[in-house]
Amino acid sequence: MIIYTNETCPYCAQVKQELEKQNIKFLNRLTSEYPDDWNDIVSLTGMPTVPTIVYEDNIYVPGRDFNDVQSLVNRLKSYKKSPYSEAKHILEKTKSLNYNINVAFTRLDKLIRQIENKIK
């Protein structure tokens, strides 16, 4: 497992400390010392956020894939290789993304209508 961090990130330090506490081995890569690798990760995810973890060909970005240290640790500890193809994963994630976008816009539309009704 590789964890991309920077020197000034307190959340990075917290994540590394918990991984060590849980005896989860990792390589720490400072983004400033591995700029090419880091740029590849950012190009792939579109999210220049640390700490970003690369584990078993998966990339875990804070906020997108985990919301706190414990959820990350739980996810890593319970990791199991999927029996589904990469294409199936992409299809299902795209369907989920489309669903979530639809839900968000529906909520936004409802909120705008409520505001419009109040100002009329």
- Across 16-110, the runs of DSSP E, i.e. the strands, are 27-30, 52-55, 58-60
Query: Within a 13 Å sphere around the CA of 62, how many CA atoms are in the beta-carbon half?
Result: 17
Q: Name the pTM for this structure.
A: 0.79
Q: Quick check: 39 pLDDT over 90? A: yes
For residue 82, give the amino acid letter. S
Peptide bond into 51 cis (omega under 30): yes
Report residue 120's pLDDT band, with 50, 70 and 90 as the boundaries: confident
Residue 74 and residue 4: Cα distance in Å, rounded? 19
pLDDT of residue 40: 97
Q: How many angstroms separate the Cα of 36 from the Cα of each of 6, 26, 54, 60?
A: 15, 19, 15, 18
pLDDT digits (tens, 9 = 90+) for 54-106: 999 899 999 999 999 999 999 999 999 989 999 998 999 999 999 999 999 99
Residues 10-32: tens digit of each pLDDT = 999 999 999 999 999 999 999 99
